[in-house]
Structures are given as structure tokens and as C-alpha cells.
């Protein structure tokens, strides 16, 4: 029985979908993609998430990975190439191709803000609307945004405080949990301030219920255990004692 050829099927205005047999040569698929782009603005392929060979074929034929389409019959990885895409043989086109499928890590920026309480400063924590645990102010870094700029933006958006972000105190890796992918949490030094700074806070109602300076005991009581460990590590780095600074890298606060 002869092998079925690679097929290109129009699926919409200016859009074609390409499919091929499992052992098809990448060069053949690449030529068919190029030929289809003469008459179409977009050529796409849907490849099963467990078909690693098919995903390699799609990639090295010049199609960029766009995401996963979930479905009853099984999830599919969507690949596509546009007529306007930079040619893969050019540096910009090759980098864009690699960027489409290489792993991406979510980043969270937080700020450690302390007050002048003696003998140990308290830490500013936020009571959040979307979870029971309290946490340091901050949030997710946007695509293409500096983590240091992100934490300044988040603190201003959430609390209406304009505070510069000082040195990086801690990098904490957060493993996958409860439906979340893993992430890197970067804690920046927000400095030491008079406790009256809380009077200037205007909570963003959508995300923040309240904010307060908390003692170490209150941090342990109000925050998740991994958050409490992260706060303790960041504090050691911000105010090193006789034992020296704490770790600059932790995993889930450890």
C-alpha cells in the first residue's frame, strides 16, 4: 500500500492546513508549506501533544508553535507560518522560530517593605481578595517587562505607593502547585519606612482587602508556610546579622 502524500487543505479565507504521514521527510513538508504560502496568508498544522516526531517536523519545516488547542479527542499543538514571517534562514526568523517553542518561565516580583519598629522591623503584608493567605506586595511580571520595573508598577497599582525598588534580595523558585505552573519569585528591597506609610495606602479593591505591617509571628500566622520562609530569607539578606546573610536562592522558601 502506497504512502499517502502530504496534503494541504484550505480551511478558511487565506488559511490552509497541512498534514503529513508519521515518517514524512522534513524537507518535503517544508517545500509544501512554502508552496502553500504562495496562495495563502497562513499555513497551520495541528499535531497531537504526544507526537514528538510530528512536533519536530512542524518546527523544522519553519512553522512556529502557537499554543495548545484542547479538545475531546485529545489536545493538539497548533503550529503555523505566515506569509509575512521573516524567512527562517535569516537570523531574526530563526530566533523567532526557536522562541516559539523554547520553555518560558513565569516571573513574580515582590517588594520587602519594612518599618522602623525596634528591636526588629515589621514587614508589610497584603491581605488578598483571591486567596486566604497574606503575601508580600507585588505581582506577575508582564512579557518584556523588567522585574524591577514590574514590582514598582505593582506596588503603585495595588497600594498607591510610589517606592523605588532597591537591590534584589532573593530569588525563590516556586514548584508547580494547585493548577499553577512553576515560577521564579524575585524579592526586591523596598527599604525601611516609618509605620505611618500605611496611612497613605489606597488598596486596589479588585485584589487587595487590606495591608499592614506584621511581626515575624504575624507573618507566620497569616502567610502560607512557603511565603513565611521566603520573607525570613529576604529579611536575612536585607539585614544580615552575626551569622551573615541568608541564602540568595531558595526553592519554595527553603
CATH of the domain at 14: 3.40.630.30
Longest dimension (CA), the chain: 84
Which of 66, 101, 136 is at the close of a domain?
101
Residue 68 has pLDDT above 80, yes or no: yes
Distance CA 232, CA 136 (A): 12
Looking at the structure, do residues 89 and 125 belong to the same domain, yes or no? no
- Has residue 2 been placed in a domain? no
pLDDT at position 140 is: 96
pLDDT at position 24 is: 83
Looking at the structure, do residues 204 and 226 belong to the same domain, yes or no? yes
- Has residue 215 been placed in a domain? yes
pLDDT at position 22 is: 84
- Has residue 1 been placed in a domain? no
Q: Domain range for residue 92?
A: 7-101
pLDDT at position 242 is: 46
Looking at the structure, do residues 236 and 129 belong to the same domain, yes or no? yes
What's the mean pLDDT in 46-55? 95
pTM of the predicted structure, to 2 decimals:
0.85
Residue 1 has pLDDT above 70, yes or no: no
pLDDT at position 2 is: 44
pLDDT at position 119 is: 83
Number of structural domains in the chain: 2
Looking at the structure, do residues 86 and 166 belong to the same domain, yes or no? no
Residue 45 has pLDDT above 90, yes or no: yes
What CATH number does the domain containing 158 carry?
Answer: 3.90.79.10
Residue 113 has pLDDT above 90, yes or no: yes
Looking at the structure, do residues 12 and 132 belong to the same domain, yes or no? no
What is the DSSP track for the chain?
A: -PPPPPEEEEEETTEEEEE--TT--HHHHHHHHHHHTTT-SEEEEEEETT-HHHHHHHHHTTPEEEEEE--TT--EEEEEEETTSPPTTSHHHHHHHHHHHS---EEEEEEEEEE--SSS--EEEEEESS-SSEE-SEEEPPTT--HHHHHHHHHHHHH-------SEEEEEEE--BTTBPPEEEEEEEEEEE-GGGGGG----TTTEEEEEEE-HHHHHHHB-HHHHHHHHHHHHHHS-BTTB---SEEETT-
Looking at the structure, do residues 171 and 91 belong to the same domain, yes or no? no
What's the mean pLDDT in 216-228? 96
Distance CA 134, CA 57 (A): 47
What's the mean pLDDT in 154-166? 97
Looking at the structure, do residues 129 and 235 belong to the same domain, yes or no? yes
Q: With contact defined as beta carbons under 8 Å apart, do 40 and 82 qualify? A: no
Which of 67, 101, 135 is at the close of a domain?
101
pLDDT at position 245 is: 61
Looking at the structure, do residues 144 and 238 belong to the same domain, yes or no? yes
78 half-sphere exposure, CB direction, 13 A CA radius: 10
Looking at the structure, do residues 117 and 44 belong to the same domain, yes or no? no
- Has residue 216 been placed in a domain? yes
Residue 115 has pLDDT above 50, yes or no: yes
Looking at the structure, do residues 58 and 163 belong to the same domain, yes or no? no
Looking at the structure, do residues 167 and 236 belong to the same domain, yes or no? yes
- Has residue 246 been placed in a domain? yes
Residue 81 has pLDDT above 90, yes or no: yes
Looking at the structure, do residues 32 and 78 belong to the same domain, yes or no? yes
Q: How many CB atoms lie within 10 A of CB 6?
A: 18
Which of 76, 101, 126 is at the close of a domain?
101
Residue 20 has pLDDT above 80, yes or no: yes
Q: What is the mean pLDDT of the chain?
A: 93
pLDDT at position 3 is: 55
The share of the chain scoring above pLDDT 70, in percent, equals: 95
What's the mean pLDDT in 157-169? 96
Distance CA 195, CA 24 (A): 68
pLDDT per residue as tens digits for the range 176-200 = 988 889 999 999 999 999 999 999 9
Amino acid at each position: 500500500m502506497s504512502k499517502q502524500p502530504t496534503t494541504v487543505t484550505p480551511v478558511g479565507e487565506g488559511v490552509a492546513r497541512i498534514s503529513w504521514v508519521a515518517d514524512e521527510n522534513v524537507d518535503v513538508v517544508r517545500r509544501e508549506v512554502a508552496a502553500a504560502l504562495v496562495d495563502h496568508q497562513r499555513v497551520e498544522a495541528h499535531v497531537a501533544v504526544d507526537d514528538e516526531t510530528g512536533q519536530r517536523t512542524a518546527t523544522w519545516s519553519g512553522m512556529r508553535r502557537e499554543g495548545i488547542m484542547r479538545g475531546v479527542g485529545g489536545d493538539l499543538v497548533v503550529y503555523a507560518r505566515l506569509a509575512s514571517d521573516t524567512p527562517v534562514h535569516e537570523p531574526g526568523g530563526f530566533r523567532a522560530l526557536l522562541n516559539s517553542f523554547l520553555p518560558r518561565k513565569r516571573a513574580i516580583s515582590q517588594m520587602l517593605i519594612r518599618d522602623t519598629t525596634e528591636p526588629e522591623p515589621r514587614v508589610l503584608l497584603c491581605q488578598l481578595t483571591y486567596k486566604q493567605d497574606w503575601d508580600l506586595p507585588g505581582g506577575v511580571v508582564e512579557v518584556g517587562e523588567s522585574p524591577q520595573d514590574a514590582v514598582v508598577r505593582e506596588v503603585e497599582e495595588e497600594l498607591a505607593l510610589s517606592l523605588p525598588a532597591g537591590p534584589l534580595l532573593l530569588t525563590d523558585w516556586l514548584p508547580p502547585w494547585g493548577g499553577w505552573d512553576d515560577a521564579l519569585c524575585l524579592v526586591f528591597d523596598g527599604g525601611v519606612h516609618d509605620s505611618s506609610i500605611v496611612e497613605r495606602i489606597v488598596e486596589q479593591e479588585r485584589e487587595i482587602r487590606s495591608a499592614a505591617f506584621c511581626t515575624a509571628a504575624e507573618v507566620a500566622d497569616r502567610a502560607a508556610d512557603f511565603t513565611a520562609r521566603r520573607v525570613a530569607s529576604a529579611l536575612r539578606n536585607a539585614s544580615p546579622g552575626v551569622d551573615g546573610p541568608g541564602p540568595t536562592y531558595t526553592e519554595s522558601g527553603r
